[in-house]
Amino acid sequence: MERNSGQLKNAPIGVFDSGVGGLTVFREIMRQIPNERIIYFGDTARVPYGSKSQETVTRFSEQIVRFLKTFQVKTIVVACNTASAYALEALEEDCDVPILGVVKPGAKAAAEVTKNGRIGVIATEATIGSQIYTQYIKELNRNVTIYGKACPLFVPLVEEGLLQDPVTDEIARRYLAELIDLEIDTLILGCTHYPLIRSTLGRIMGEKVALVNPAYETALELKGMLADKGLLNQTPPALGSDQYRFFVSDKAEKFVRFANSIIKYGILSAKTVNIEEY
């Protein structure tokens, strides 16, 4: 069914992640385009994605896209680096609304920011293994070198709430040591959980290293894309309408608790759906 431009402007944006990490992207979208309605889905029954295979992550992501499309979303943001790395191409093939991942905007910002041409990427095992950041950055600037480092313990440490903790410091020091030795001047936080330990990472890397947050860059890109297509919502949603709706595949209460600890917006509830049925 064709929709007219007014209907499309009012349509929500779909945002998904393997769990809670994508809320850092949601938060940036809230801030940068506050008139938009958002449907957020966190795949908490099957989290994490970062240690799983391309085939599995793609199958999971396709189910979620089918779920989000039941809300007639005007665009979908893949707010998960692993899913962006592994599944974006397959999702684009199958989808009639624009799909935006977090990797390209992060890569673009890093390519612009670096001065010495030495860029570090920290991310999940899957994202690093895919070499996707390297590939995108090289397309923009052949004269840079990209060093990837998988940091599998950061996600559990963040989810345990150890955002400021000597253990997180010690693990971060181990993961980052080789990037410091390689004298990078730019570090991409290539997993949506990592902005939550940004101060620890910044302290260890030192003031001279610029931290790139793909969540921020993605919201900026999304805003530009919607503006170009004339799809930005010009007026805030009516009072009392659900501007933000949250869905998860497991444990709604736990999700709501975590969400409220990182977003300043009283999230009252999330709904559990059986995502394997989509």
Q: Which residues bind its own copies (CB under 8 A)?
A: 44-46, 51-53, 55-56, 59, 152-153, 155-157, 159-160, 166-167, 170-171, 249-251, 254, 274, 276
Identify which of residues 21 and 106 has a Cβ nearer to its own copies in the complex: 21
| Catalytic residue (one of 11, 191, 197, 252) | 191
Active-site annotation holds for 80: yes
Q: In whole angstroms, how close is the CB of 165 to its own copies at the nearest point?
A: 10
Q: In whole angstroms, how close is the CB of 195 to its own copies at the nearest point?
A: 20
| Catalytic residue (one of 73, 76, 78, 80) | 80
Q: In whole angstroms, how close is the CB of 123 to its own copies at the nearest point?
A: 15
25 CB neighbour count, 10 Å cutoff: 30
Active-site annotation holds for 95: no
Q: In whole angstroms, how close is the CB of 53 to its own copies at the nearest point?
A: 5
Can the peptide bond before residue 105 be classed as cis, meaning omega within 30 degrees of 0?
no
Identify which of residues 62 and 185 has a Cβ nearer to its own copies in the complex: 62
Residues designated catalytic = 80, 191
